[in-house]
Amino acid sequence: MLINCVAYQDGRKLADIPVSEIHNYVSRADCFVWVALRDPDGNELEAMQSQFGLHDLAVEDAHHGHQRPKIEEYGQSLFAVLHIIENGREELTVGEVGVFAGANYVLSVRSGAEHGFVEVRKRCEEEPELLRHGAGYVLYALMDSVVDRYFPVLDAIETELEEVENRIFAHQTERASIEALYGIKQKLMTLKHATEPLLEATARLHGGRVPQICLDLQDYFRDISDHLVRLNQSIDSLRDMVTTAISVTLSLITLQENETTKRLAAYGALVAVPTMIAGIYGMNFQYMPEIQWVHGYPVTLAIMALLDVYLFCRFRRAKWL
């Protein structure tokens, strides 16, 4: 589906144009065209390929999707794949945007994501001095928007981890806590898969041999790279915290089981001592001490009670009961 098809000149919007007229503006040195598509079919991509001269491999990647985040050069043009991550009710939703950027055009192909880039276009149009840089600045603005969306997702994951940690130390259900921690770990892995490859790819846009359309914009792409470094460091820190939280949870489970075992052993001892005495006097021998004694029964019960009281006090002092 076609979202926008707009021509710009010297950093200012000229007009919304039909797809059939794109070639009239792309051929002008002082103009560039910015087209946005959402979940396009093969015919729409073929039409854009014929208008912009896109590389077959890049078009194939954009059509099939499910690509690893990357930035590739095809002659004087760039093709970038970015993952759009959005918070769902229980898990993260992963979409994708492929960005074709050439000397006089930008084509963004979004799939699997609800939140578009309307605010990015508005922001660019409000900064004509920067938009005058053309397709390179639009590529930066799209990448910057995608990367900035990772921060709220990471903040939400951190908040979720804090809540799980509070439940762990409140001695709530350990099984539910471990399941929640593994869910958080999976979310962090999803975020890591989106940011780590992009960090490596973005480094080529501000250092070494910079592509032609990115010239004079190295500082902007370096800023994106700095954001990605922060994100990756935070993700790694949270992953370590999740691993530690899982270990703590398992340790607490072990401690709780040990406490239960000690209590059972203590109660077993309280029962075993009277049982032992009763068992001895329950043997059917004719000659046994105090067997004919009038006070033998109450004295034996008293001894059992005293021994149990003694054991109970010792176990309480040892914190087994």
The residue type of 202 is: T
State the pLDDT confidence band at 282, using cuts at 50, 70 and 90. confident
pLDDT score of 251: 81
pLDDT score of 172: 64
Distance of alpha carbon 236 from alpha carbon 263, whole angstroms = 41
Weakest-pLDDT range from 10-24, 101-115, 179-193, 275-289: 275-289
Q: CB of 134 within 8 A of CB of 107?
A: no
Q: Give the tens place of pLDDT for each residue, 169-198.
A: 776 667 788 888 888 999 999 999 999 999
Phi (first) and psi of residue 115, to 5 degrees? -80, 115
pTM of this prediction exceeds 0.85: no
- As a whole number, mean pLDDT of residues 3-11 equals 88
Domains delineated in the chain: 1-133 (3.30.460.20), 264-317 (1.20.58)
DSSP-derived 3-state class of residue 285: coil
Give, in order, the Cα–Cα distances in Å from 85 to each of 146, 153, 179, 207. Answer: 8, 8, 22, 27
List helix spans (H) across the chain: 22-26, 42-52, 56-64, 118-125, 128-131, 135-148, 150-169, 174-202, 218-281, 296-317
- Of 238-247, 254-263, 270-279, where does the model show the most confidence? 238-247
Distance of alpha carbon 35 from alpha carbon 224, whole angstroms = 23
Which percentage of the chain shows pLDDT scores above 70? 97
pLDDT score of 253: 79
With tokens 């592509």, the residue in question is: 211
State the pLDDT confidence band at 228, using cuts at 50, 70 and 90. very high
105-111 vs 31-38, strand pairing mode: parallel
- What is the length of the chain? 321
Q: CB of 131 within 8 A of CB of 11?
A: yes
Which percentage of the chain shows pLDDT scores above 90? 26
Residues 6+ apart with CB under 8 A from 138: 32, 34, 101, 106, 124, 131
Asked if pLDDT for residue 285 goes beyond 70, the answer is: no
